Structure 1
Amino acid sequence: MIEPILLFGVPVDFLLFALTLLGVAIFHHKTLQVALTGLAAIVIYKLIFTGFKYGAGINGLGHHMVHEWVTLANLFLLLMGFALLSRHFEDSRVPDEMPALLPDDWKGGVVLLVLVFVLSSFLDNIAAALIGGTVARHVFRSKVHIGYLAAIVAASNAGGSGSVVGDTTTTMMWIAGVSPLAVVEAYIAAVVAMLIFAVPASIQQQRFSPIQKNPPSGLKIDRTRVFIVAAILVAALAANIIANLRFPALLDSVPVLGIAVWAVILLTAGWRAPDWKVMPETFKGTIFLLALVTAASLMPVERLPVASWPTALGLGFISAVFDNIPLTALALKQGGYDWGYLAYAVGFGGSMIWFGSSAGVALSNMYPEAKSVGRWVSQGWPVAVAYVVGFFVMLAVLGWHPDPRV
């Protein structure tokens, strides 16, 4: 690959990506078109001027996509599959029963966020966010504040940040040889962050649309749909653990998690038909995310600043606009990080913007009004505050202890 062309000291690749993100922020009703246009501009620029990491021209682009296709395929299958899972969960009538289990004031919103946090510690954060969003739609009578949506995404990302089975980035660290105990330290920051953003977000929501005090009468839970939801989640969890422990090389060549989810969806379709009507809109949101992830993977980020706690803190903000998977891969290759900090930063940091994590994109497919960077940032401000405070509490409690072995 030729050295990047600089404009005002900044690689043109980054400027094109920044313009794409700016376009997404301004034209939030045309996000798919903006993302695809930005991706096309970046690809054309690299085809003509700089080439790609694995070579120049079409061959270089082809080799790049060979390295990225498993990640993209997994994201596609998971986002599409978990949209059907959320509808199974909604149609099971379990969310309608939740008002009987949650406190009937702002503390009910906090308890729901805690449930999302716990679910995400052992499930995929996309599934946890969608389950939280489905319950919120029912207990808040379909009027969910954007600040609370940001909190649901933040809870799902925080819950996965300290578990090697809770997030793709922490799973990558586990595969690379990082001890699960080194990653679990991230929960010190994640729990503090949770305590900070959960209360103001829940109070915002209670003022916007109070929680429903009592469930509708005459509810009948569809146990078959509950079983299907559980089967999909167990399949994803089992596929993740078994593949990492027994067949790690398979994860680089086959989208194992996505295939496991869709296998259960298709095998159980005869018992209860999935709600296929959600697919067209979900497809648009999924292609949007894949366009941004692909564009981010094309950026010349082969060298990161020297590993340190300020660098780790900065990576959290970067992960709000860059895909955290390549950032994690680069950090692992570089070495010298305290991995608990990196897990928290790249896992939780993407919550600060709606397209900064796959959980945010999935939830925004369910709530299209959330697809506004300005409203997400202004109404979800507790998430950014919580990220910084959680990081510095962890630093004060543990200190910075880099591990040069990975």
Structure 2
Amino acid sequence: MHEATFHLTTTWVGIIDLAIFVIAYYFIATEEKYEINKAKPALFAGTFMFMLVGVYFATNGMDPEPLHEEMQKLILEIAEIFFFLFVAMTFIETLIERRVFDVLKYKLVSKGYSYKKLFWLTGLLAFFISPVADNLTTALILSTVLFTIDKSNKDFLVPGAINIVVAANAGGAWSPFGDITTLMAWTAGKGEFVDFLYLFVPSVSSWALTGWLLSLYVPKGEPHFNVETEEIPQMKEGGSTVIWLGASTIAIAVLGHQFFHFPAMWGMMFGLSLLKLHSFRLSKGGHDGYDIYVNMKKIENDTLLFFFGILSAVGALHFLGYLDYVHDLYSIVGATAANIGVGFISAIVDNVPVMSAILKASPEMGIDQWLLVTLTAGIGGSLISFGSAAGVGVMGRLRGIYTFGSHIKLAWTVLAGYILAMVLWYIQFEMMGLY
């Protein structure tokens, strides 16, 4: 996000917009109770809040150009996330259609792994894949694997989903590629590439503690599997190529952004073009091809609309000047306490605008503090189900199973890991100076 042009927090539009955001957030958090999809209140709030700002400008005879420019910038930022998600979801739906996940599920379940072993395996994969790819794509893929293993056992799926979200966010925190907040800090010159690697110990320890506590809730036994009756799934033609195309697309997006300064979604859209060409080649070659538009119909559009709505709403609050109050934390409580508080704020609001606001304020901090705020903004989003892109993606993938309510019941396990990360950061960076 960009610096607020006006400070309108005490005007009628500032007060009403804040009230709309709070009410919308309430309905987002209680979607189970009212049976209203989270995208509806988020989209309403995000669009209506800016409309009210426009009314305020018009009725007060103010120049609308700053508002217009801010909304254009916001549209570009949202479009980058929107299209990135769109392509990632299309790849996942294509992998599902090619029965890639059915084959993976069969290989995992046929080995006789218990629920607990599958729980740890998916979490471990999430932690080490997200630094290379990104936390959202990693969480989407592994939550799909989780769901194909056992679609009905909530006692396994809920802690497993939380484990994947926490692992993906923690894994992304120690790599400039793993999370948008780490990428922002890196490109802003707040640390060199190797500096972020020093966050590995607090990151992996945070996930390990939360994973261990969550594993206590994972049921004993193993998924039902009868070798005599279970069908051996066969991957459809071209499935392996789709896997490689997906991995290459992520690599192109990351490398293109890093070395050629393309938006990450540009590389993703290029990967989508390769996927379409692969579909064309299969169909022309007389093989069992796939219709990419049919796969697109199956993506979680509610998740995409939720992101549009919530980022628009946060953008409105930023334009009104509310996120400027985040800066005051540093002068009031000091850098360490403020940076730890950022984790809780990013869980409630969104880590991207919070991190952006801090980078623009650029308080005087050493590399140790910049790495701390990168760590807290990254893993703090796991405290609430929709506090991170990974969490929102998994909520869409496991709709009705992994929800705000189911996450909150076990959120104390995430908080325990968060506290451990802070303690280890202090020991490593402040007491031992290992960075």
Out of 148, 156, 159, the position equivalent to 2:168 is: 156
Give deviations 1:13-66, integer Å, cap 9, x for gaps.
444322221121123432222112222342233223479xxx957533321122
Normalized against structure 1, the TM-score is what? 0.86
C-alpha separation in 2, matches of 1:219 and 1:67: 47
Q: CA deviation at 1:374?
A: 2.5
Q: Residue type matched to 2:361 in 1?
A: Q
Alignment correspondent of 1:197: 210
* Equivalence for 2:349: 322
- 1:308 counterpart residue number: 335
One of 238, 242, 247 as aligned partner of 2:256: 242
- Amino acid in the other structure paired with 1:302: D
| 2:85 is the alignment partner of 1:79 | yes
User: Using the alignment, how far apart are the partners of 1:94 and 1:229 within structure 2?
Assistant: 12
User: Offset at 1:388?
Assistant: 2.0
Distance 1:233 1:214, change over 3 A: farther
Q: Give the Cα separation in 1 of the matches to 2:26 and 2:295.
A: 31
What is the Cα deviation at residue 390 of structure 1? 1.4
Amino acid at match of 1:68: L
| Cα distance per residue 1:117-167 (max 9 Å; x no partner) | 111010021211112112211333553432321221111111111101111
TM superposition shift of 1:292: 0.2
Alignment of 1:241-280 (within 5 A): 241-245=255-259, 247-248=260-261, 250-251=262-263, 255-270=265-280, 271=282, 272-273=289-290, 274=292, 276-277=294-295, 279=297
Give the number of the structure with larger relative contact order, counting CA–CA contacts within 8 Å between residues 6 or more apart.
2
2:106–2:232 contact (8 Å) kept in structure 1: no
Deviates more, 1:256-265 or 1:126-135: 256-265
1:286 counterpart residue number: 304
Q: Which digits, 9 at most, give the CA deviation of each residue in 1:336-358, with x for residues without a partner? A: 34222122111111122222112
Could you tell me how far apart the structure 2 residues matched to 1:324 and 1:387 are?
15
* Structure 1 residues 12 and 257, CA gap change in structure 2 (3 angstroms): farther
The answer on 1:224 being equivalent to 2:263 is: no
Q: 1:204 to 1:56 in 2, by over 3 A?
A: farther
Which residue of the partner structure matches residue 409 of structure 2?
A: 378
State which structure, 1 or 2, has the greater radius of gyration over its C-alpha atoms.
Answer: 2
User: Are the counterparts in 2 of residues 236 and 260 from structure 1 also a CA contact under 8 Å?
Assistant: no
Question: Aligned-pair distance for 1:80?
Answer: 2.1
Q: Contact (CA 8 Å) 1:289, 1:355: kept in 2 or not?
A: no
- Per the alignment, residue 41 of structure 2 pairs with 34
Kindly tell me the number of residue pairs found equivalent between the two proteins: 393
1:143 aligns with 2:165: no
Deviates more, 1:290-299 or 1:336-345: 336-345
Aligned-pair distance for 1:287? 0.5
SS of residue paired to 2:217: helix
Q: CA deviation at 1:329?
A: 1.8
Q: How far apart, CA to CA, are the structure 1 residues paired with 2:432 and 2:424? A: 15
**Further displaced range: 104-113 or 312-321:** 104-113
State the Cα deviation string for residues 282-316 of structure 1 (Å, max 9, x = none).
11221112100111122221351226111111111
Offset at residue 371 of structure 1 (A): 6.1
What's 1:21 paired with?
25
Q: CA deviation at 1:397?
A: 2.2
Write the distance in 1 (CA, Å) between the matches of 2:232 and 2:304.
37
Equivalents in 1 of 2:83, 2:139: separation in Å?
A: 16
Q: 1:110 to 1:13 in 2, by over 3 A?
A: same
Distance 2:50 2:272 in 1: 31
Q: Deviations over 1:82-124 (max 9, x none)?
A: 2222233331222321235684251331122011111101002
Q: Does residue 96 in structure 1 map to residue 106 in structure 2?
A: yes
Q: How far apart are residue 221 of structure 1 and its match?
A: 3.8
- Mean Cα displacement is larger for which, 342-351 or 115-124? 342-351
1:186 aligned partner, one-letter code: L
Contact 1:74 1:258 in 2 (8 A): no
Inter-partner Cα distance in structure 1 for 2:403 and 2:115: 28
1:179 shift after superposition: 0.8
Structure 1 pair 379/3, CA: closer, same or farther in 2 (3 Å)? same
Structure 1, unpaired ranges of 5+: none
Q: 2:385 and 2:177 mapped to 1: Cα distance?
A: 23
| 1:352 correspondence with 2:365 | no
Q: What residue number does 2:178 align with?
A: 166
Match of 1:120 in 2: 130
Supply the distance in 2 between the matched residues of 1:117 and 1:83 (Cα, whole angstroms).
20
Distance in 2 (alpha carbons) for counterparts of 1:282 and 1:201? 27
Structure 1 pair 65/394, CA: closer, same or farther in 2 (3 Å)?
A: same
2:135–2:172: 8 Å Cα contact kept in structure 1?
Answer: yes
